């Protein structure tokens, strides 16, 4: 049976509020009785609300956590989240009519709208949300790619079809800067398999990892002797007015391409941002299967980026890290590293952020020959993932106008590290 809950929230973030890994099924099961049905709608008076899927399991068997994003045209310190769990068609007629009337924008205290003026205001708000959705973040799936746009402008292409023998691991390319021009490059000499052609735009891989009986494995480089990170499927692909997200399953294969040694769950989130910057949030879960897996010492992993030649230090660009070091040496620990430069008279850059809840802080950073930057947690010491266990890594790629200083990358990292702040009150079950 469809149930309705009311959840009070206290927010202290002026912009969009993100409630990550919210165990909503457990929260709704506050009385410890029947397990709630999956949530079908989230509503909040005066707010635009979006629920994104999560790869994290709920404490209740068979259900999953979620991410809730809320925003308003004016600062809000308190809100009431109304949660509809179960099929909407089972709602009582009077409530179903009200939900339809306000078009999932605001549920006004579960009370009828008492005047034509109030009804008109709700319709106006509904129209604003439709416009938000049209200008929101969208993912279009094709046979080989995911095309991500913000406000109908291209942001990045995610190339995932690893059945193509030329694509041994998924990559993000092209990644468009706020000006609309691509800032990423495929290889040291684009179009040719020479030099470091495996430095493929923005990518995830590891150059030296092992499992018992399988020798040294490498999916960083891209030749016939290297292993694959194979795309398996997308669990979820969601677009929306405030953000888009996809959840992907991948397999880190052995040298013969037959055995799965690491099962990866990759969650990629793209929030809607102001035009001067764009964000890709990456959440990786690497689960060892029946053998322990060791990520060995090497600079060449885990998240890396190769930008256009024109943006490199040798051509007038700059690299900077969170410790204030310009063109830092390879392996220098930092919370973030940035590369920026001019292309066709427009200065743009990209910064890679290490999430403060990752195990190794600050993280050693890859800086390869003034060309490629990266976040490399096993640069100086290995990490072993026990059989059946997982390691989680969270990163952010911030694509921005200007250089690290003018784009205020340090302040962007501080906001990322702090996260959105929200307190959740006791759940009240209204119906069901």
Is residue 368 a part of any domain in this protein?
Answer: yes
3-state secondary structure of 21: strand
CATH number at residue 392: 2.70.98
How far is 69 from 124, CA to CA, in rounded Å? Answer: 21
pLDDT for 23: 92
Same domain, 187 and 128: no
Is residue 231 a part of any domain in this protein?
Answer: yes
pLDDT for 205: 98
pTM check: above 0.85:
yes
Same domain, 184 and 316: yes
Is residue 412 a part of any domain in this protein?
Answer: no
Cα-Cα end-to-end distance for the chain: 6
Is residue 390 a part of any domain in this protein?
Answer: yes
Helix (H) / strand (E) containing 203: strand 202-206
Is residue 411 a part of any domain in this protein?
Answer: no
Q: How many CB atoms lie within 10 A of CB 324?
A: 10
Q: How many CB atoms lie within 10 A of CB 116?
A: 8
Q: Nearest-CA neighbor of 376 among 384, 388, 385, 367? A: 367
Same domain, 74 and 159: no
How far is 402 from 30, CA to CA, in rounded Å? Answer: 49
Is residue 305 a part of any domain in this protein?
Answer: yes
How far is 83 from 76, CA to CA, in rounded Å? Answer: 19
Same domain, 124 and 146: no
How far is 373 from 352, CA to CA, in rounded Å? Answer: 8
**Which residues of the chain, if any, have pLDDT below 50?**
98-99, 101-115, 119
Same domain, 177 and 70: no
How far is 281 from 415, CA to CA, in rounded Å? Answer: 14
Same domain, 68 and 153: no
Same domain, 159 and 22: no
Same domain, 336 and 372: yes
pLDDT for 127: 55
For the stretch 315-340, pLDDT in tens is 999 999 999 999 999 999 999 999 99
Q: How many CB atoms lie within 10 A of CB 293?
A: 25
243: containing domain = 138-401
Is residue 242 a part of any domain in this protein?
Answer: yes
Same domain, 149 and 226: yes
Same domain, 16 and 157: no
Same domain, 127 and 155: no
Same domain, 173 and 309: yes
Is residue 130 a part of any domain in this protein?
Answer: yes
pLDDT for 32: 62
Contacts 24+ apart (CB under 8 A), 110-116: 110/4, 110/82, 110/430
Residue 293, strand partner residues: 211, 385
How many domains, the chain?
Answer: 2
């Amino acid at each position: 049976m469809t149930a309705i809950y009311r959840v009070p929230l206290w927010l202290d973030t002026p912009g969009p509020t993100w409630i990550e890994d919210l165990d909503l099924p457990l929260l709704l099961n506050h009385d410890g009785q029947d397990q709630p049905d999956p949530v079908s709608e989230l509503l909040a008076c005066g707010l635009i609300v979006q629920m994104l899927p999560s790869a994290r399991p709920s404490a209740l068997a068979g259900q999953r956590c979620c991410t809730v994003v809320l925003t308003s045209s004016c600062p809000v310190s308190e809100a009431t989240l109304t949660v509809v769990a179960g099929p909407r068609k089972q709602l009582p007629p009077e409530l179903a009519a009200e939900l339809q009337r306000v078009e999932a924008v605001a549920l006004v205290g579960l009370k009828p709208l008492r005047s034509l003026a109030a009804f008109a205001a709700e319709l106006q708000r509904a129209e604003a949300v439709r416009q938000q959705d049209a200008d929101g973040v969208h993912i279009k799936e094709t046979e080989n790619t995911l095309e991500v746009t913000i406000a109908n402008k291209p942001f990045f292409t995610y190339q995932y079809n690893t059945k193509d023998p030329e694509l041994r691991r998924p990559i993000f390319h092209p990644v468009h800067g706020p000006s609309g021009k691509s800032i990423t490059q495929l290889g040291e000499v684009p179009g040719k398999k020479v030099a470091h052609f495996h430095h493929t735009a923005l990518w995830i891989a590891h150059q030296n990892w092992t499992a018992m009986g399988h020798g040294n494995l490498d999916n960083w480089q891209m030749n016939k002797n290297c292993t694959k990170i194979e795309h398996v499927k997308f669990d979820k692909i969601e677009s929306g007015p405030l953000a888009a997200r996809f959840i992907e399953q991948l397999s880190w294969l052995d040298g013969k391409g037959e055995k799965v040694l690491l099962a990866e769950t990759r969650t990629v989130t793209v929030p809607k941002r102001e035009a001067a910057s764009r964000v890709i949030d990456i959440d990786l879960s690497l689960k060892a299967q029946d053998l322990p897996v060791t990520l060995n010492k090497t600079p060449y992993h885990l998240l890396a980026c190769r930008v256009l030649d024109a943006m490199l230090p040798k051509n007038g660009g700059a690299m900077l890290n969170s410790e204030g070091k310009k063109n830092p040496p390879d392996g220098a620990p930092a919370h973030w590293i940035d590369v920026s430069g001019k292309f066709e008279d427009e200065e743009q850059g990209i910064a890679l952020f290490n999430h403060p809840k990752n195990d190794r802080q600050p993280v050693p950073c890859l800086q390869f020959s003034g060309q490629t930057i990266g976040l490399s947690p096993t640069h100086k010491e290995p990490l072993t993932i026990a059989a059946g266990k997982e390691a989680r890594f969270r990163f952010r790629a911030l694509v921005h106008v200007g250089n690290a200083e003018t784009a205020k990358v340090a302040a962007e990292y501080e906001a990322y590290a702090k996260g959105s702040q929200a307190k959740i009150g006791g759940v009240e079950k209204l119906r069901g």
